[in-house]
Amino acid sequence: MAVVVELWCVAALLALAVLAVPLSRAHAGSPIVYGGALVLSLIGLGNAVAALAAPAGTLALPLGLPGTGAHFRLDGLSAVFLAIVHLCGASASLYAIGYGRHADAPGRVLPFFPAFLAAMSLVLLADDAYSFLFAWESMSLASWALVIADHRAAENRRAAYVYLVMASFGTFLLMLAFGLLAGTAGIYDFVGLRAHPPAALVGGVVLGLALLGAGSKAGLVPLHAWLPLAHPAAPSHVSALMSAGMTKVAVYGFLRIVFDLMGPPQWWWGIPVLAAGAASAALGVLYALMQSDIKRALAYSTIENIGIVFVGLGLALAFTANALPAAGALALTAALFHALNHALFKSLLFFGAGAVLGATGVRDMERMGGLIHGMPVTAFAMLIACAAISALPPLNGFVSEWLIFQAILISPELPAWGLKLLVPAAGALLALAAALAAACFVRLYGISFLGRPRGPQAAAAREVDRWQLGAMLALAGLCVLAGVLPGLVIDAMAPAVAALTGARMPPQAGVAWLSIIPVAESRSSYNGLLVLVFVAGSAALVAAAIHRFASRAVRRAPAWDCGFPNAGLRTQYTASSFAQPIRRVFGATVFSAREQIHMPPPGDLSPARFRLRLVDPAWDGLYLPLARAVWALSGRMNALQYLSIRRYLALVFGALVLLLLVLALWG
């Protein structure tokens, strides 16, 4: 049975984690551990893909919560996410065989990497509340250990701390949600919970808790502020795994609770989900545009993509609640598809960032440039990833966004007014996010890979090893494949979608020319394969024609200097100057950007200084005030620990008198 195979994979990964402790001292330890993780992830991947259309398999073990036991279940939804996670795991392992060789302290990474993979799989397999939260929190713990792997840098410690607290916050909220679902009877297994859906009001609260709990893990605005700290702090293959894999597990958690355990949705459930998703999509990418640290920019872009996924989920909820199951299936498929796509290209992007980091030693884009010369293959793979995440046809990112737009276009059929007004606004934000994402990745790619090197490290960068290139090229290939053959993916996800929404998209397998048709052919259709063929064909055609009939001569010359000779490297656009127009459009309102330019008076030869201050409003408006409040409160309370013995006795005395008074007045 598939679920047994998956559990054996988990067990083997855990064994590998234990084994990694002694292995990390050995020279060959790193390839062995990553190689093992690669093989296990591939086995799991194959198993999950095979389980996509299979009936759900369950298994109960006498572990975990007494009385309930540990229940595991592998159904369509789990299989979709297992496939995504294993895909991320396999590619990260492959990449790390090369990348992990240069780790300073392998002992702090090797044991936790397989454990992290195992915990993620376990979340997806869990079929009772305790196992689910146990695995969920273990996942946080393992990834926390990876975030703090480079523990000597103070900012990493801070990132890890914020991350762990936020992870725990999310877990506690989910615990509350499960508590509400479990009710006084204390039903913890999902089978029982499914049989007892909560009352309407309780359901609303559970939805809120699940949205906050799973959303904080996924990085929804405004709880996202930990994510851009934590994801980049880890080693790059782990960053990829966190951004691409773990956020999907969070999405799965939301799906499992809200779509599966809570019975039929209420009409308004889509509203908060849609609003949070749209806000995350737009704000996430705007933040990403402002970052000059390449990994931070990627982390913020994760927030954007999670926002897109949640918009899809919100639409699916709204449709399903309002008796439009087919539309719900379309929205849910779009969300799942986007989750897959994001896993693919975000892994690839982090791998690329890791390769750059390994080759140059810098994460700051302002010190990169011209890497396309030294690292052509990496640059090629990154180009595909950047195009894919910018939702450009014929790559995969476009397909899922297109499907979500198609779902939005069905929404006038929704009866409720709130949704009617919200959905187009969400659509506009989504379109804005897509366009800004393109801007963001033009900037990211253009500044770091194109132009001239902005520093000696960038100039000396050399291509990375074969393992890393292999992982990157494989993912790039998958990005293209998912883009040109989306019908396969949609059909593969159909069983999972059907189980949650009660409907499915029209089968795509029989459509001529491998097109995809979300609703009906007269309404809309798209064919990635033909777009690719047409674009490639016409480009080839015109190239051939020009080379044949016109000129093919090439001459190298200095760049045109507009009459200003000796244009130094500093005259290039920088990451922050590239973002300046957009910063001026959105910055003042969204993150109170402040630019200070210190221009020396004429005749003064001192350099002009430019300083930019950006504030993440979630950090300044939510995290910091809370932290300050806790600190101030603890300061107040702390005074109570320095009283005299007499005062302590007075406390005891006071408590006694109070209780006696209660007895006297009550009794």
Cα Rg, the chain, nearest whole Å: 27
Q: Least distance in Å: CB of 53 to other proteins? A: 27
Which whole-number Å values give the CA distances from 306 to 246, 316, 319, in the listed order? Answer: 11, 15, 20
Q: Least distance in Å: CB of 172 to other proteins? A: 5
Task: Answer for the pair 493, 331: CB distance below 8 angstroms, yes or no.
Answer: no
User: DSSP 3-state assignment of 610?
Assistant: strand
Q: CA–CA separation, 92 vs 116, rounded Å?
A: 12
Chain position carrying tokens 């009409």: 267
Identity at 99, one-letter amino acid code = Y
Nearer Cβ to other proteins (106/495): 106
Q: Least distance in Å: CB of 628 to other proteins? A: 12
Nearer Cβ to other proteins (43/569): 569
Q: Least distance in Å: CB of 481 to other proteins? A: 18
Burial of 443 (0-12, 13-18, 19+ CB in 10 A): buried
Burial of 582 (0-12, 13-18, 19+ CB in 10 A): middle
Q: CA–CA separation, 261 vs 257, rounded Å?
A: 5
Q: Least distance in Å: CB of 211 to other proteins? A: 16
Task: Give the contacts of 423 (CB within 8 A, at least 6 positions apart).
Answer: 274, 315, 318, 408, 411, 414
DSSP annotation string for 229-244: HHHHHS-HHHHHIIII
Task: Answer for the pair 423, 411: CB distance below 8 angstroms, yes or no.
Answer: yes
Q: Say how many CA atoms lie within 13 Å of 406 toward its Cβ.
A: 28
Q: Least distance in Å: CB of 235 to other proteins? A: 16
Q: ω before 111 within 30° of 0 (cis)?
A: no
Q: CA–CA separation, 360 vs 109, rounded Å?
A: 22
Nearer Cβ to other proteins (91/131): 131
Angle at which helix 417-449 crosses helix 270-290, to 10 degrees, equals 20
Q: CA–CA separation, 505 vs 495, rounded Å?
A: 10
What are the φ/ψ torsions at residue 70 (nearest 5 degrees)? Answer: -95, 115
SS (H, E, C) 452-514: CCCCHHHHCCCCCCHHHHHHHHHHHHHHHHHHHCHHHHHHHHHHHHHHHHCCCCCCCCCCHHH
Nearer Cβ to other proteins (88/148): 148
Q: CA–CA separation, 166 vs 585, rounded Å?
A: 32
Q: CA–CA separation, 39 vs 610, rounded Å?
A: 50
Which whole-number Å values give the CA distances from 444 to 101, 366, 429, 583, in the listed order? Answer: 27, 10, 22, 15
DSSP annotation string for 66-110: TTT-EEEEE-HHHHHHHHHHHHHHHHHHHHHHHHGGG-S-GGGTT
Q: CA–CA separation, 444 vs 575, rounded Å?
A: 8
Q: Least distance in Å: CB of 246 to other proteins? A: 16
Chain position carrying tokens 């992870």: 167
Nearer Cβ to other proteins (32/65): 65
Q: Least distance in Å: CB of 521 to other proteins? A: 7
Q: CA–CA separation, 171 vs 433, rounded Å?
A: 29
Q: Least distance in Å: CB of 174 to other proteins? A: 10
Identity at 437, one-letter amino acid code = A
Q: Pairing mode, if any, of strands 57-61 and 70-74?
A: antiparallel
Q: Least distance in Å: CB of 260 to other proteins? A: 18
Q: CA–CA separation, 372 vs 366, rounded Å?
A: 15
Q: Least distance in Å: CB of 406 to other proteins? A: 7
Q: CA–CA separation, 308 vs 201, rounded Å?
A: 27
Identity at 355, one-letter amino acid code = A
Identity at 388, one-letter amino acid code = A
